[in-house]
Structure 1
Amino acid sequence: MADLLAGRPVLLLFAVLAIGTAVGAVRLRRVSLGPAAVLFTALAFSAADERLALPEVLGTFGLAVFAYAVGVTAGPSFFASLRTGLRPVSMVVATLLALGVLTWGIGRLLGLSAGSTAGLYAGALNNTPALAAAILRLDGSPDPTVAYSMSYVGGVVVMLAAATWALRSGDRHPTADDRARPTEVRNATILVERDNALTVAELSWTPHGRVLFSRYQDAAGEVRMAQGDTLLRPGDQVLAIGPDRALRHLTKQLGRRAATHLEAERTDVDYRRIVLSERRFYGRTVADLDLFARFGARATRVRRADQDVLATDDLVLQAGDRIRVAAPREQMRLVAAYLGDSEHGTADINPLGLALGLTAGLALGALPVPVPGLGSLELGQAAGPLVVGLLLGRTGRTGRLVWTLPHQAAETLTQIGLLVFLAYAGGRAGSAFVDALASPLGLQLVLAGLVVTTVHAAVLLLLGRAWLRQAGPRLAGVLSGSQTQPAILAHAQEQTHHDQRVALGYAMVYPVAMVVKILVAQLLTML
């Protein structure tokens, strides 16, 4: 069997992926290894026979695809976090830099090699691209992978415990962050009882967020689409869409909640979700669709990555978005054809944009950056594509060229890229891993990893509560984003029934944490 697999790298790749993903799916007290099980499977294969290692080109391919897809997906939220979440982001950056210094000190104390120190940092903080950057800097040395493997599990367990504590503490002691809790987009049918003499456009802005108006029913019972200059008069009923607090404010301003639900009246005006698959609208805004002028229709919300967002005029659309549209019944078919409404668009990987983006990312990663006293530093095959992906994800499109990826396609590329790289990395360190297990070095790496992860969790918990005054769900999201660990995010979301604050905290700091860890890991290989 070993002879068969050694001569067929593609067969070896899928054998490792099959066994690794099966092991990773096993849960013990709601905790699983997840994708990291592929790394340990590859370690076991190569420990049994050193020939069972994948070619380097496969690892480079997987890493580049993974990093670029993460960047394109996170681009908009990354730059938004720099504007609105500067304090949490700066807290995470400072903590990760300090942990780099701590790890270097531990490495010097224990007499670790530069590769082992970098792998210890990557493993304790659960960051595979940082491991990749260290391996590439050291020309494939097994030291980073061994240290990563020894410290990885402790990094997951400690941070899971920290996230659990944050959630429980936040529930008992709400903080100021609770007042900023995001709310779901909802509908409300409002019976107008006051004559405010305000147009729909003027009523759209409330102290608690934007509200959109879909349709209204006049006192005579006729249902029409609401326009910006529509005046709502006593006796009218109007269907409003927005955050719950904004809808409550608007209801008090206009009258009271109606006993009927206007969205259920579909005789004249209908609504449905339409998949955006028309390529010319990728990267454009909702206003660019010009739905009302063309069809008398209006987009009210957009569903993306299992979350509904309000379809404001400035919202930038992505391939595969599911747009909820209200339109005159006879126009709905034309609106669907206009937007595409093809599920194929949700799986389109946009080959031209993907290839050009990866080319630019790998080229950027290969550029040497002089570091005084240390030589030159490269962003590498992880950070280069990640940085370019962030920029292009924020840009959306350049003329006719679309950079964004449908969410489903981006998630698929992310998973495939990560799994392929893990299978490659584990195959390079099997014998060294076995040697470490049988020596004092293994225990040293495990304990050192626990120290680094524990300090990471303690600092974020302390600063997050005392300085930023964040509620438990948001803080749990920041912990998982700073650790760049999807398992912790999934745990926090499950415990909070998918509280949006968890995902918001994660998305705010994840891209920055990813870049900082990759750069610090490279610096540690040079010290």
Structure 2
Amino acid sequence: MSYLVEQPVLLLFVLLALGTALGNIRVKGISIGPAAVLFVALGASAIDPELALPAMIGNVGLALFAYGVGVMAGPSFFSSLRTGAKPVALVASTLAAVGGLCWGLGALLGLTPGSIAGLYAGANTNTPALAAAVERVGGAPDPTVAYGLTYAGGVIIMLAAAAYALRSAPPEGGIDEAAPDPIRNATIKVTRDNVLTVRELTYTPYGRVLFSRHQVGDNDIHVSRGDTLLKTGDRVLVIGPQRAIDHVVKQLGRLSQIRLDEERSDVDFRRMVLSQKQFYGRTIADLELWRKYDARATRVRRADHDFLATDGFILQAGDRIRVAAPKERMADVARYLGDSEHGSSDINPLGLAVGVALGLLLGQLPILIPGLGTLELGHAAGPLIVGLILGRLQRTGPVVWSLPHQSIEVLNQLGILLFLAYAGGRAGTAFVDAIQSPLGLKLIAAGVLVTAVHAIALIGIAKWVLRASGQRIAGYAAASQTQPAVLAFANSATNHDERVALGYALVYPVAMVTKIVIAQLLTLT
């Protein structure tokens, strides 16, 4: 033990190794994930209080995690405020009400402001909120103790709530919306004589479609142009959602027995990694593939999702673009886009360093809140807000703010592990004392109550007011709780129904920001 105390770097990685191993243990398919590092660090510091990591390790980890979350969520965060106002308002208002409940319970039970904030963070299983609270109270153990005592109940109760939502039928008069169609392609034989151009057929009542390849009779295959006239006997390859494709089929004729996507003698297709920095934050139209190479982008794969490559689609580092081009020009297109896995994993040190620095500076600015005092956003909310803004901007002139998805995931995971290892090392003794005292039982009971109220309010309003399907509600619940275990359960139970992921993605950024802000406000009580 004394050797580990003298070797903080070694201690850090021992804690990470033990915590990660514990977090990977599954009980009925559910694991606690990265939070296990916190409990391992709590156990270590309970054995010897000197087994604590320097504060700088926690601060660096927290800043990296918060900024990474912001950059990744930036585009969807601001778009969700416009396109999903009702679900976003539901989650934000529910979390604010839960914050009020925590304040009331804290006053009733005589809890310190740090314990109230930790109760809120733990019952809602949100580590960044815990981090913000710990920073606000100057590293005191109260938030971490409360978080540790209420975290397990927060996971279990919200898992049960998600299971209930998935089993329940939509309310009478509600609309159990179908899962969005994945992007598909089909070869259409033109049999109708209503001559239309490719551009005129692009928009349908069921979404956009793109036209990739065109064949006149039995002649050579060419990349489709916007002004291409589709006449009887032509074949054309259409890409888009299934219902939109079906609509185009009715307009043009019938499905062809010849599949143009399998004909690669004239026009080839290939998925290429975008690794040229000059295109990060630019749109598909900015690539000018048609003007330069007679080529057309048809799909973009980001993380595990495919998107239609419309002209206004904003590209990010590491996107995989599916391109159709004349066979002899394909190598030129690949060089033009980069097509390098190494380039796509670049963490963009300039944008990352400047962005985090701006976030930390914002976090130090005092904000006066009437009646409560002065609030500083700190190492969590400051980088998060700057990350959201820069993630939305993508780039400013020559400076690229976006990061490859793979790089963001690595930074986020590393950052939160560093913080958890630090936070647990500061609260081990206090955690053990709390478990053995009436305070511990009070906190556990309060955490169960807070999570239960959160779940009941969220599901009730989503079901009876928003008239959402069970799959959507499960996604909202996972995102409102910011809990990967709930999301994994819902995905597994629905065989990865797209409605779960869409519900989660819509409200997750707002839930994250709301919790961090409310946790800090609770420390001012």
Aligning the two structures, in what range does the TM-score lie when normalised by the shorter sequence?
over 0.9
Maintained 8 Å contact 1:345/1:406:
no
Q: Which residue of 2 aligns with 1:203?
A: 201
The one of 245, 251, 254 equivalent to 1:253 is 251
Q: State the shift of 1:110 in Å.
A: 1.2
Aligned to 1:65: 64
For the Cα contact (< 8 Å) 2:171–2:464, is it kept in 1? no
Distance in 2 (alpha carbons) for counterparts of 1:164 and 1:331: 52
Aligned to 1:493: 491
Q: How does 1:238-317 map to 2 (within 5 A)?
A: 238-317=236-315
Q: In structure 1, the residue corresponding to 2:52 is in which secondary structure?
A: coil
Could you tell me which amino acid in structure 1 is paired with residue 162 of structure 2?
A
Aligned to 1:45: 44
User: CA 1:171/1:132 → structure 2, altered by over 3 Å: closer, same or farther?
Assistant: same
Letter in 2 for 1:308: D
Amino acid of the structure 2 residue aligned with 1:232: L
Cα distance per residue 1:272-305 (max 9 Å; x no partner): 1000001100000000000011111100000001
Report the residue type matching 1:31 in the other structure: I
375-384 vs 301-310, greater mean Cα deviation: 375-384
Determine the structure 1 residue equivalent to 2:400: 402
Cα deviation for residue 31 of structure 1 reads 1.2
Shift of 1:173: 8.1
Call closer, same or farther: CA 1:451–1:382 in 2, change over 3 Å: same
How far the C-alpha of 1:526 sits from its partner, in A, is: 1.1
Structure 2: 5+ residue stretches without partners: none
Q: Percent identity?
A: 62
> 2:444 maps to what in 1?
446
Letter in 2 for 1:124: A
Q: In the TM superposition, what is the alpha-carbon distance from 1:122 to its structure 2 partner?
A: 0.4
Q: Are the equivalent residues in 2 in contact too, given 1:217–1:236 (CA < 8 A)? A: yes
Q: Which residue of 2 aligns with 1:165?
A: 164
Structure 2 CA distance for partners of 1:495 and 1:173, relative to 1, 3 Å: farther
Aligned match for 1:432, one of 412, 430, 438:
430
- Cα distance change, pair 174–150 in 1 and its aligned pair in 2 (3 A): farther
Scaled by the length of structure 1, the TM-score of the pair is 0.98
Matches of 1:380 and 1:86 in 2, distance apart?
28
Give the secondary-structure state (helix, strand or coil) at the position aligned to 2:460.
helix
- Per-residue deviation, residues 401-425 of structure 1 (Å, max 9, x unmatched): 1000000000000000011100001
Letter in 1 for 2:80: S
Aligned-partner Cα distance in 1 for 2:153–2:343: 41
C-alpha displacement at 1:204, in angstroms?
Answer: 0.4
Partner residue in 1 for 2:116? 117
Task: Give a deviation string over 1:254-277, Cα, whole Å, max 9, x none.
Answer: 111112221000011100100000
Which residue identity lines up with residue 148 of structure 2 in the other structure? S
What does the per-residue CA deviation read over 1:59-107, in whole Å, with 9 as the maximum and x for residues that have no partner? 0000110010011001110011000000111111111111111011111
Q: What is the alpha-carbon distance in structure 2 between the residues aligned to residue 287 and residue 497 of structure 1?
A: 35
Deviation at 1:171, TM superposition (A): 7.8
| Structure 1 match to 2:94 | 95
Contact 2:170-2:463 at 8 Å conserved across structures: no
Deviations 1:300-350 (A, max 9, x none): 000001110000000000010000000010110110000000001221100
User: Could you tell which deviates more after superposition, 373-382 or 315-324?
Assistant: 373-382
Give the direction of change, closer, same or farther, for the CA distance of 1:173–1:32 in structure 2 (3 Å limit): farther
RMSD: 1.2
Instruction: Look up the match of 1:458.
Output: 456
Separation of aligned partners in 2, 1:73 and 1:412: 12
Instruction: State the alpha-carbon separation in 2 of the partners of residues 503 and 378 from structure 1.
Output: 33
Please tell me whether the aligned partners of residues 174 and 471 of structure 1 are also in contact (alpha carbons under 8 angstroms).
no
Deviation (angstroms), 1:174: 9.6
Q: Which residue of 2 aligns with 1:422?
A: 420
**Is 1:4 aligned with 2:3?**
yes
Other-structure match for 2:80: 81
Letter in 2 for 1:323: I
1:187 to 181, 185, 192: 185
Distance 1:494 1:267 in 2: 41
Structure 1 residues 130 and 200 mapped into 2: Cα distance closer, same or farther (>3 Å)?
Answer: same
- 1: CA distance, partners of 2:174 / 2:21: 41
Query: Which of 315, 318, 333 pairs up with 2:331?
Result: 333
* Residue identity opposite 1:201 in structure 2: R
Q: Secondary structure, in 3 states, of the residue corresponding to 2:196?
A: coil
Distance 1:260 1:173 in 2: 46
Aligned to 2:344: 346
Counterpart AA for 2:202: S
Name stretches of at least 5 consecutive residues in structure 1 with no aligned partner. Answer: none
Is residue 384 of structure 2 the alignment partner of residue 386 of structure 1? yes
Q: Are the counterparts in 1 of residues 176 and 468 from structure 2 also a CA contact under 8 Å?
A: yes
Q: Deviations over 1:23-67 (max 9, x none)?
A: 000000111110100000000000000010010010000011001
Aligned residues: 525
